[in-house]
Amino acid sequence: MTSDSASLPEGHGHEAVLLAEILEELGPQAGESAIDLTVGRGGHAVAIAQRLGPTGTLVAVDRDRGNLEHAGNRLAEAFGGDPPSIERIETVDAARLGEAAPIGRGPRIVLLHGNFAIAPQALVRCRLPVDLVLADLGVASTHLDEAERGFSFRFDGPLDMRLDPTRGPTAAELVATLPEAELAQAIRLLGEEPLARRIARKIAQRREATPITTTFEMADVAQDAYGPRARHSRMHPATQTFMALRIAVNDELGALEALLAEIRGTAERMAVDLTDGVDLAWLRRGARIAIVSFHSLEDRLVKRAFAGIARDGLGRVETPRPTIADDAERARNPRARSAKLRVATVGDSAHRRTARTATHDP
């Protein structure tokens, strides 16, 4: 584990996954620009910012305004400055971005509240191409620990599950309105739940009598669908259904696909435009991109997208096999057990690393 202060989870309720490996693979350099598309509680962001230094720029994005504020405060604390202001990702412009000053001894910090899928558009609008991109696709531990957010069946709370609680339908609204067949398809595809049809049927039956509005009620429906099998299941019967609903509520795969399309499109433009101007969009030539996934569907999308970029001569894959947490981190942080890190470079790059993290496919 790195010695950076960001590796210390105390007081922040969340430990950054694969932090040392991400720093090694991305190799942040003084004066570079980076974007953390899912800043969460700020663990990765602080460590990257320490490497960028006062001449660098860090853009931090999150759907959860509370987490974004926490990350801003953590960055300010790390560098001895005032917390930066938060901009809506849809409305930030170059003028306001230009007002952002370095935080104390640290880099210039920009906090954007919104969906990371449209972050590339914001960077183009602000004429701020970046050298480094990080997306940690996991849900923050704080989401799972706050009953009122409705992500976990460990606590009884409203069946919400929105990463941005100010926007979009809740999980309860999805459960109430989706036809049974669509529910079954979502639970099967997004949650990889073998009993998806039985669970969807139970949902349809239950909601006819009374709305399903809490996490305990939803967990009870899944348990009911499992019947006697629940006693022999290696995980709680509601685990995969809750994951499927969360992914559906937040359109997580859609956001990832949009991001990967933006990466691909920029790489294609680099191949035909040999200049280094800002018109190349949101990535600088040779930008390093790191994506941490926690679900096979996410990892498959990232793997295929990066492989296509390499196959077509638009960049290269830096991690032929995904980097996973070592035994020590997996024992210390259960969240790291399913994490897979994939890294790619787009366009030409003068950035070379002599050391490589040992990787293997589990």
Residue 83 pLDDT greater than 50, yes or no: yes
Residue 93 pLDDT greater than 50, yes or no: yes
Domains of the chain: 5-141+251-346 (3.40.50.150), 148-249 (1.10.150.170)
Tell me the H-state helices in the chain.
19-26, 43-52, 65-79, 94-98, 119-125, 141-145, 171-177, 180-191, 196-209, 215-226, 239-249, 252-272, 296-311, 327-332
Query: Of 237 and 276, which is predicted with more confidence?
Result: 237
Instruction: Give the number of other Cβ atoms within 10 Å of residue 104's Cβ.
Output: 14
Share of the chain above pLDDT 70, in %: 90
Per-residue confidence (pLDDT) for residue 357, from 0 to 100: 38
Residue type, position 180, single letter: E
List beta partners, residue 74.
none
Integer Cα distance of 244 and 151 in angstroms: 11
Q: Across the chain, which distance is largest between two alpha carbons, in Å?
A: 64
Per-residue confidence (pLDDT) for residue 208, from 0 to 100: 97
Integer Cα distance of 106 and 69 in angstroms: 17
Per-residue confidence (pLDDT) for residue 280, from 0 to 100: 58
Residue 320 pLDDT greater than 80, yes or no: yes
Residue 161 pLDDT greater than 90, yes or no: yes
Residue 356 pLDDT greater than 70, yes or no: no
Residue 51 pLDDT greater than 90, yes or no: yes
Query: Where is average pLDDT lowest: 11-20, 126-135, 304-313?
Result: 11-20
Instruction: Give the number of other Cβ atoms within 10 Å of residue 305's Cβ.
Output: 20
Closest to 60 measured CA to CA, from 4, 134, 117: 134
Per-residue confidence (pLDDT) for residue 352, from 0 to 100: 39
Q: Supply the pTM of this predicted model.
A: 0.89
Per-residue confidence (pLDDT) for residue 77, from 0 to 100: 95
- Averaged pLDDT, 336-359: 68
Per-residue confidence (pLDDT) for residue 259, from 0 to 100: 98
